[in-house]
Amino acid sequence: MQQKPSNLHVDGRRFWDSLMEMARIGATPKGGCNRQTLTDLDKDGRELFRSWVEAVGCTVEVDEMGNMFARRPGRRDDLPPVVIGSHLDTQPTGGKFDGVAGVLCGLEVLRTLHDAGYETDHPVMVVNWTNEEGSRFSPAMLSSGVWAGAFTKDWAYGLKDRDGKTFGEELARIGFKGDKPCSPADWKCHFELHIEQGPILEAENKQIGVVTGVQGIRWLDVTITGKESHAGSTPMPRRKDALVAASKVVIALDEIARRHAPSAVATVGEIKIAKPSRNVIPGEVTFTVDLRHPETQVVDAMEQELRAAVADACQRDSLPFVVDRLWDSPPVSFHPDCIAAVEDAAQEAGYAHRRIVSGPGHDSAYTARHVPTSMIFIPCKDGLSHNEEESAEPDDLTAGAEVMLRAVLRMAQAG
């Protein structure tokens, strides 16, 4: 006899053990993971995930961007699936939980339904989105972006990593370049569990964050061109030092973000001198800029102020410069029905919770363009992420998976 949904509960220990087993693929000395997208280690992680979902009766399809779709049939298999999605790829110094917890939370939901012999009306599907991190191939959320129509497949295939290898070539090399079209599908909804990657839930002693949306993100590349010359014989007034100008912009960018407090953040994550040498004045410097705020008009203002700061920094020495916008992910508001499903699930399960806006970007920001979407946040220690010391408590992970199960069961009912 089929159990009632209220009697179904995830196995927190199994969920944790799966996370630890996946973490061994690409494990780093400090306890994190380096499993960057489309590497051999990424392939190993994908194959492990495939073996797990197939063991509970799912079929797996792979699309043209390497996104993996593990599908469990519903009682009415003609209905659109309820989808759980996140990513298995990591930063070079990534942790065990960023993205991975979301995919394996979906696995735990599938296992729970399978063990109970419970049939949902709608099919349930778990997605592993390719290249969410954007650390090897920029921008981030690349394959969910292609799925949503923000980028073209051919453009994505041509992206190169630091060694000149293209996304398309590496996708084929690891054997995950599928035939399924990468385009929006008829889904009922999309949920994603993720560590918060911030300090709010931990500080307020909340186990669940009910995510109402994602703030706007804009990435830009800045190149300043000076002139190489000898560090010992070029007088200061005759120098055209690109790094000095770039340094002024970095300081100005910090001030720009602080002017738009408390929600604005701005980061220079990479700086590259074209021909670095100890005794040569830098002739060309390129650096990245990451701007974020929940409101588009504020992100627009920050970009305008950045461009003015670059012009001001280059004016004294008449240095040419280029500011290119690489990526623009506008602020996203999630669907009220999905938000309510998460909020009600947290309330019913008795977990302390609050509504929250995501600072980082997630694949859900793109799925929300086409299907009802929301997210579940759980705390992470000190709000630390994109770091090998990233940490989450087993009880919080179990709570997140329990909320996911309840939200999925609610949305997977026909009618």
Q: Mind listing the pLDDT tens digit for each residue in 322-332?
A: 999 998 988 99
The mean pLDDT of the chain is: 96
pLDDT tens string 3-48: 556 689 999 999 999 999 999 999 999 999 999 999 999 999 999 9
Average pLDDT score over residue span 174-203? 97
pLDDT band at 2 (very low <50, low <70, confident <90, very high): low
pLDDT tens string 335-394: 999 999 999 999 999 999 999 999 888 999 999 999 999 999 999 999 999 999 999 999
Does the structure show a pLDDT above 50 at 1?
no
Does the structure show a pLDDT above 90 at 273?
yes
Average pLDDT score over residue span 248-266? 97
Q: What is the pLDDT of residue 329?
A: 86
- % of the chain residues with pLDDT over 70: 99
| Inter-residue contact 188 to 81 (CB < 8 Å) | yes
Q: What is the pLDDT of residue 246?
A: 98
Does the structure show a pLDDT above 80 at 190?
yes
Judging by beta carbons within 10 Å of its beta carbon (0-12, 13-18, 19+), is residue 161 exposed, middle or buried?
middle
Domains of the chain: residue spans and CATH: 5-215+331-411 (3.40.630.10), 216-329 (3.30.70.360)
Q: What is the pLDDT of residue 3?
A: 58
pLDDT tens string 206-216: 999 999 999 99
C-alpha count within 13 angstroms, C-beta hemisphere, residue 71:
17
pLDDT tens string 289-308: 999 999 999 999 999 999 99
Cβ neighbours around 276 below 10 Å, total:
10
Does the structure show a pLDDT above 80 at 415?
no
Q: What is the pLDDT of residue 5?
A: 62
> Cα–Cα distances in Å, from 173 out to 49, 51, 160, 163?
19, 20, 14, 15
Q: What is the pTM of this model?
A: 0.84
pLDDT tens string 123-140: 999 999 999 999 999 999
Q: What is the pLDDT of residue 7?
A: 84
In angstroms, the CA 186 to CA 192 distance is 17
| Inter-residue contact 98 to 385 (CB < 8 Å) | yes
pLDDT tens string 145-181: 999 999 999 999 999 999 999 999 999 999 999 999 9
Quick one: three-class SS letters along 32-54? CECCCCCCHHHHHHHHHHHHHHH
